[in-house]
Amino acid sequence: MSGHSHGFTNWPFADPENLATFSCVHVMERSHPILRVAHDDDGAWQFLCGQLHDMEDARLVCLGCMVKREPELLTLADLPREWCAERDSPGESWIREPNPADPDEDE
C-alpha cells in the first residue's frame, strides 16, 4: 500500500494516504455505495456497504483510493476512534455515533 499518490492538495486525515483500510466486496467489486464507516479502537478504518459480511467479503484498499472513489469521506476525516458513521443513502448526511467494541459483531 505504498508508492502511489492520489493528487490530493488538501488531506484532512491524520492517517497517511497510503494507510491500508478495510472495505468489502460489495463496495469494491459491485459498486455498492459506502453507507457505513467505522474507525476502530486500533485506528483501522472500515468503509462498508452496511450489509452483514463474512470474512471472505473483506477487501483491503488504501485510504487515498477510497477517498478518491468517494470524496464525501473527507467529511469524516475527524471521526474519532471507536466511532462510526452511517447514512441511509449516498448524498445524505452521515450520522455519527460511538461504536463500542462488541464481541458478537451481529450489527
Minimum CB separation of residue 28 from Zn ion in Å reads 9
Distance CA 104, CA 77 (A): 27
Residue ranges that bind Zn ion, judged by CB under 5 A: 24, 26, 49, 51, 62, 64-65
Nearer to Zn ion, 44 or 65 (CB): 65
Retrieve residue 49's grid coordinates.
Answer: 456497504
Nearer to Zn ion, 33 or 80 (CB): 33
Minimum CB separation of residue 96 from Zn ion in Å reads 20
- The three-class DSSP label of residue 33 is coil
Which amino acid would we find at residue 81? R
Nearer to Zn ion, 80 or 85 (CB): 85
Minimum CB separation of residue 21 from Zn ion in Å reads 10
Instruction: Render 35-79 in DSSP notation, one character per residue.
Output: -EEEE-TTS-EEEE-SS---GGGEEEEEHHHHHHH-GGGGGGTTP
